[in-house]
Structure 1
Amino acid sequence: MTAITHHIPENLMIAYAAGNLPQAYALVAAAHISLCLECRTALEAHQAVGGVVLESAVACHVSAGLKSETLALLDAPARNEPVFRRAGVYPGPVMQALKGGPPRWKSLGLGVRQCILSESAQGSVRLLYIPPGQAVPDHGHNGLELTLVLQGSFSDDTGRFGTGDLEVADQMLEHTPVADPGAPCICLAATDAPLRFNSLVPRLLQPLFRI
């Protein structure tokens, strides 16, 4: 794997470590951390700081009923949930979202495909397959988009993003990502709002493709 040069920003890492990052973004963060030693180390540091804060916090008394219910939950038998490991280009967190199976691709045209992993009012996360040399239509963002490269690479006005790299796009960025020559680019992308396409045809197709 090539060196990872685009990482999780500090504010998002803090939110992820605290468990406050929305589910769609948390999946992308978990997948990146599984690939990136630097961000894994940063996460462990934030978790250690969080542990110190909890230990120094003032104790809060709770009712006897809440205490007994909490202890009962801790004593309950653990559910035998499967642990999904990496498969091909897909890290363990992505395989968990796929429930251990391969992506179920749907065509978006021009060889581009997507597989929606989850979708809610809080955001959506999907896999994107982009053939070499193919561009994603020029667009802006109505919210925050996190894009993690799992295979291949893509380039836009902000630079080149290879395997393991994370691009953070906000409302200030308008770009036309293009998959680089070589292997098809496979990305994991999370958004909390629809994209803002500049061309008419992508705008017309947007409700159908749920982008």
Structure 2
Amino acid sequence: MTDQIKHHLTDALLMAYSAGSLPEAFNLTIATHISMCDECRARLGAFDSLGGALVEETESVEMSAGSLEAVMDRLKAPEEKKEKPRKSKGVLPAPLQDYIGGDLDAVRWKSIGMGVKQAILPTSRDASARLLFIPAGAAVPDHGHQGTELTLVLKGAFADEVDHFGPGDIEVANEDLNHTPVADIGEDCICLAATDAPLKFKGLIPRIAQPFLRI
């Protein structure tokens, strides 16, 4: 699959993920993409190494009381082995299956109209994550963004004003993008989407329904 991925994470997102400064919803989406994409996983490794080098060169500061004891306790703990990305046996990648406790049969879909369904995932309040099911040939209402939206294709594909996005591709949208994602005709599309601000719908009906759908 990784050879087919043409839309990757930005350096800024990978660096923020490495630094641990992103909301939980974004971390989940990025971790899921990284499990599917060798290129972004390699770039993340480079940023992790860079971060470690910067820490080593940082000037020392006075430690707080109890810091030494806390470090010694951690050193005594069993070492955690870094595992290679585990391949999923289902439709959803392993990090997402671990998060929701199963594959698609564990997802509790709710209809949001026109055959489109969503399942909001429990994350911290600073951003939201949801699985989206878009029937083949169906469209998500035209909308813009008040913040950042990450959309990762898990199954099927969609196209919008930017490009065509297939399995493993991730679209990074911001305030400059207004688009109408449309699922390919041949197959239903399932995506993982994370947003840190409400979307801006142009249509009246989506705007009325927006508070109830928590989009």
TM > 0.5 between the two? Answer: yes
Change beyond 3 A, Cα 1:44–1:85: same
- 2-side partners of 1:202 and 1:68: how far apart? 55
Secondary structure class of the residue paired with 1:47:
helix
The Cα shift of 1:76 comes to 5.9
Q: Provide the C-alpha distance between the structure 1 equivalents of 2:64 and 2:151, rounded to a whole number of angstroms.
A: 44
**SS of match in other structure, 1:38:** helix
SS in 1 for 2:147: coil
- Report whether the alignment pairs 1:147 with 2:151: yes
CA positional deviation for 1:48: 1.1
Q: Which runs of 4+ in 1 moved over 3 A?
A: 69-78
> How much has 1:120 moved relative to structure 2?
4.1
Question: 1:85 touches 1:95 (CA, 8 Å); kept in 2?
Answer: no
Cα RMSD, aligned residues only: 2.0
1:94 equivalent in alignment to 2:96: yes
Work out which of the residue numbers 94, 112, 115 in structure 1 matches 2:116.
112
The Cα of 1:70 is off from its aligned counterpart by: 4.1
| SS in structure 2 of the partner of residue 202 of structure 1 | helix
Letter paired with 2:159? S
| Alignment pair present for 1:210 and 2:214 | yes
Corresponding pairs, count: 207
Task: From 134, 159, 176, give the equivalent of 2:138.
Answer: 134
Q: Using structure 2 for the length normalisation, give the TM-score.
A: 0.89
CA distance in 2, matches of 1:64, 1:177: 54
The Cα of 1:69 is off from its aligned counterpart by: 3.3
Give the secondary structure class of the aligned counterpart of 1:205: helix
Which amino acid in 2 is paired with 1:71? M
- 1:38-74 CA distances to partner (integer Å, 9 max, x unpaired)? 1011001111111222222223331342322343355
- The equivalent residue for 1:5 is 6
Q: 1:85 to 1:117 in 2, by over 3 A?
A: farther
> What's the % identity of the aligned pairs?
51
Matched, 1:58 2:42: no
Query: Could you tell me the TM-score, scaled by structure 1's length?
Result: 0.90
Give the equivalent residue in structure 2 for 1:27.
28
